[in-house]
Amino acid sequence: MILKIGVIGTGAIGQDHTRRINRVLAGARVTALNDVNRANAETCQRDHAPEARIFDDAHALIKDADVDAILVCSWGQTHEDYVLAAIAAGKPCFCEKPLATTAEGAKRIVEAEQAAGRRLVQVGFMRRYDPGYVALKKAVAGVTGAPLMVHAAHRNPRVGENYLTPMAIHDTLIHEIDVLRWLLDDDYVSARVFFPRKSPRAHENLRDPQVVVLETAGGVVIDVEVFVNCHYGYDIQCEIVGEDGIARLPEPMGIQTRSGAVLGQPILMDWKDRFIDSYDYELADFLKAAAQGTAAGPTAWDGYVAAVTADACVAAQDAAGEAVAIDLPARPALYA
Ligand code: NAD
């Protein structure tokens, strides 16, 4: 059986996922497209899905009999509405991060999915599918012993003028928030944020860099440097310090050179290249589960926890280094 997919939001990632489903992965076809900017849907249809129908109304796409599962790839503030509609239609739904732009919104999705009685939502936290992070998780289970500390960094070469200080949390740190919690299998209890001297490359309305310190229920202390004007590359670092040893996220593959008395290795500049394979793996996982009428991978609960944690980190940005508590309700049985 070929799974029929409807894609809502056909900008950068929506087009790339459509290409992935129709040209890279097996078992599914994109049969329906929607975008508030119809020209984007037409471009996506022309380039990646000539047989797909374009819908002017996303809700009509969700309900359409020729659509078995939904991809939500529109702007963040629209996700909640579409994910809730997919759940109401009983259709598996892959939602790009964020699940919702508020913790309350994410909670409404968690509640709707619980009421539906089965997993229908996968959140696009693709780093869990990155072979480097998967190997790191194995090392935590086998080599490092119980984790004590994590040192991480998320560095981008530069950001635009519209990137403001809270976006360092909601758009950038959000990936560490999810993947570190998954690596440690632990929940956060508090967040602190420290601002070193500001980089002269950061624009007027952005405090950059910043260091976020998260503490987990198990007592692990995590420091994440977020530096979005580092200039030199897109660089993701992660080191777990455990009772018995240390494990580091591998560097992306690159040719090592010896020349002019320098031992060199290139550093990526574009975030799209860093986790390129993990996008394939996450969608393959979604399609496999969706064919069974359910969802796999990062859950709506993970999306909710990420939203609560991000809100605490943003509050901590204004708390002058004081800890902000991260309070979570008990994990519902559906997500055990
Ligand atoms: P984009 O601006 O390139 O595309 C978004 C598209 O959604 C646009 O074509 C826009 O017209 C359309 N859209 C906006 N509102 C809509 C609505 N109400 N209904 C239907 N279509 C609507 O943005 P993007 O870079 O593709 O990002 C889209 C989402 O994917 C964001 O939530 C972003 O955070 C997420 N994203 C995740 C990753 C990742 O690494 N997991 C990477 C890139 C983007």
pLDDT at 1: 86
Q: How far is the CA of 161 from the centre of ligand 1 (A)?
A: 19
DSSP symbols for 198-253: PPTTS-TT---SEEEEEEETT--EEEEEEETT-SS--EEEEEEEESS-EEEPPPPP
Ligand 1 center to 13 CA (angstroms): 6
Q: Which atom of ligand 1 is nearest to the CA of 124?
A: 41
Distance 58 CA to ligand 1 centre (A): 14
Report the atom number in ligand 1 closest to the C-alpha of 74: 7
> Residue 20 — φ and ψ, nearest 5°?
-60, -45
Q: Is the CB of 6 under 6 A from ligand 1?
A: no
Verify whether ligand 1 is closer than 6 Å to residue 157 (CB atom): no
Q: Which atom of ligand 1 is nearest to the CA of 125?
A: 41
Q: Is the CB of 60 under 6 A from ligand 1?
A: no
Decide: 58 in ligand 1 pocket, CB within 6 A.
Answer: yes
Q: Is 96 in the pocket of ligand 1 (CB under 6 A)?
A: yes
- What is the per-residue DSSP string for 43-78? HHHHHH-TTPEEES-HHHHHH-TT-SEEEE-S-GGG
Q: Give the atom of ligand 1 at the shortest distance from the alpha carbon of 79.
A: 32
Return d(Cα 167, Cα 310) in angstroms, integer.
10
**Quick one: which atom of ligand 1 is closest to the CA of 13?**
26
Ligand 1 centroid–CA 239 distance in Å is: 31
Domains along the chain? 3-127+277-298 (3.40.50.720), 130-270+306-335 (3.30.360.10)
Q: Whose CA is nearest to atom 4 of ligand 1?
A: 11
In this prediction, residue 310 carries a pLDDT of: 97
Residue 97 Cβ contacting ligand 1 at under 6 Å: yes
* 132 touches ligand 1 (CB under 6 Å): no
The predicted structure's pLDDT at residue 272: 87
Cα atoms in the 13 Å half-sphere on the side-chain side of 175: 24
Q: Are 222 and 149 in contact (CB under 8 A)?
A: yes
The Å distance, Cα 252 to ligand 1 centre, comes to 26
Each residue's pLDDT tens digit in the chain (336 positions)?
A: 899 999 999 999 999 999 999 999 999 999 999 999 999 999 999 999 999 999 999 999 999 999 999 999 999 999 999 999 999 999 999 999 999 999 999 999 999 999 999 999 999 999 999 999 999 999 999 999 999 999 999 999 999 999 999 999 999 999 999 999 999 999 999 999 999 999 999 999 999 999 999 999 999 999 999 999 999 999 999 999 999 999 999 999 999 999 999 999 999 999 989 999 999 999 999 999 999 999 999 999 999 999 999 999 999 999 999 999 999 999 999 999
Contacts of residue 232, Cβ cutoff 8 Å, sequence gap at least 6: 155, 157, 267
Q: Does residue 57 line the site of ligand 1, with CB under 6 A? A: no
Q: Which of 10, 13, 71 to mutate to test the pocket of ligand 1 (most atoms within 8 A of CB)?
A: 13
